[in-house]
């Protein structure tokens, strides 16, 4: 019973991390659309993060669904991917040039 409850908690946490990633990815897309000269490097960077997150998420989801114990390491890895994508979007946002207000 305790093991099943723990599995459900980890599964909910994993879904929450996936939702955070989706929101952060959407935010990053909006910021990228406002960036007139988005570099190829930045595009590849975000694509690499998406791939890493999706592969890790699917592996962990399958592992949890199979009822196998999951260590904290892979969960930390996923949360770090979300944090890194968020930091990248924030940095891109800081690079945007805002038009000066005419007084």
Arithmetic mean of pLDDT, 3-20: 92
Q: For 68-90, what is each residue's pLDDT tens digit?
A: 888 899 999 999 999 999 998 88
| Contact between 45 and 87 (Cβ < 8 Å) | no
Arithmetic mean of pLDDT, 18-47: 85
Domain boundary assignment for the chain: 2-94
* Cα-based distances in Å from 43 to 13, 17, 32, 48, 63: 28, 22, 9, 9, 30
Distance of CA 11 to the CA centre of its chain: 16
Percent of the chain at pLDDT above 90? 46
pLDDT(46) > 80? yes
**What is the reported pLDDT for 95?**
77
Nearest Cα residue to 53 out of 32, 76, 81: 81
pLDDT(56) > 60? yes
The model carries a pTM of 0.82
Based on C-alpha coordinates, what's the Rg of the chain?
17
């Amino acid at each position: 019973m305790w093991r099943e409850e723990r599995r459900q908690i980890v599964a909910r946490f994993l879904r929450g991390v996936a939702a955070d990633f989706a929101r952060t990815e959407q935010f990053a897309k909006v910021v990228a659309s406002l960036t007139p000269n988005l570099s190829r490097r930045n595009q590849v960077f975000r694509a690499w993060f998406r791939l890493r997150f999706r592969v890790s998420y699917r592996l962990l989801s399958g592992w949890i669904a199979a009822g196998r114990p999951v260590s904290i390491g892979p969960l930390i890895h996923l949360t770090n991917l979300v944090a890194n994508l968020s930091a990248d979007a924030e940095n891109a946002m800081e690079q945007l040039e805002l038009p000066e207000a005419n007084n």
